[in-house]
Structures are given as C-alpha cells and as structure tokens.
C-alpha cells in the first residue's frame, strides 16, 4: 500500500477577527512559530472597531504566509454556502 506524504501539504488557517486586539497578537504569534511551515493564515476582519486590523496588517508585512481581508458579515455568506447558517 502506498503511503501518503503529508509533509508538503498546505494547511489553511482561517481566523475570524472582530474586536480581538486583546488576544490577537498572542494568537498570531502562536501560529507564526509553529514548526510546520507550509501554512497560509487567512485573517478576515468583520468590521472591528479596535486595533485588530492594524495588528493583522503588521503580520502581513512581516510574514508572507499571512493574508488579510476586511469583509463584514462574511460568516453569514460562508455559512450559507455550507448550509450551516
């Protein structure tokens, strides 16, 4: 039987962001320092009123694996596509 090599699989981490500045930096640092490097981190800001967007943008600038989007109520669209919302 052939074994599957999981070492090169891309892992996508989707982080919903809403007024999370208090915990966001710790979360993103934790992901950034994982030993598995083949990841993409997709941060989606749902209209935060705090400094969350600036924190996300900082990680985009320092780590090419991080991507940042601003989209209000994205979770409802996502839920509808999966029929869970």
- DSSP secondary structure code for residue 23 in this structure: H
Average pLDDT per 10 consecutive residues for the chain, totaling 85 residues: 70 92 96 94 92 97 95 60 49
Looking at residue 85, its pLDDT comes to 43
Among 60, 15, 11, 17, residue whose Cα is nearest residue 40: 11
pTM: 0.78
3-state secondary structure of 16: strand
């Amino acid at each position: 039987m052939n074994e599957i090599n999981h070492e090169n699989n891309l892992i996508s981490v989707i982080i919903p962001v809403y007024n999370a500045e208090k915990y966001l930096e710790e979360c993103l640092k934790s992901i950034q320092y994982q030993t598995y490097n083949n990841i993409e981190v997709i941060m989606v800001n749902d209209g935060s009123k705090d400094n969350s967007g600036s924190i996300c943008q900082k990680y985009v600038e320092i780590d090419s694996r991080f991507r940042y989007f601003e989209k209000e109520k994205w979770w409802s669209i996502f839920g509808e596509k999966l029929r869970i919302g």
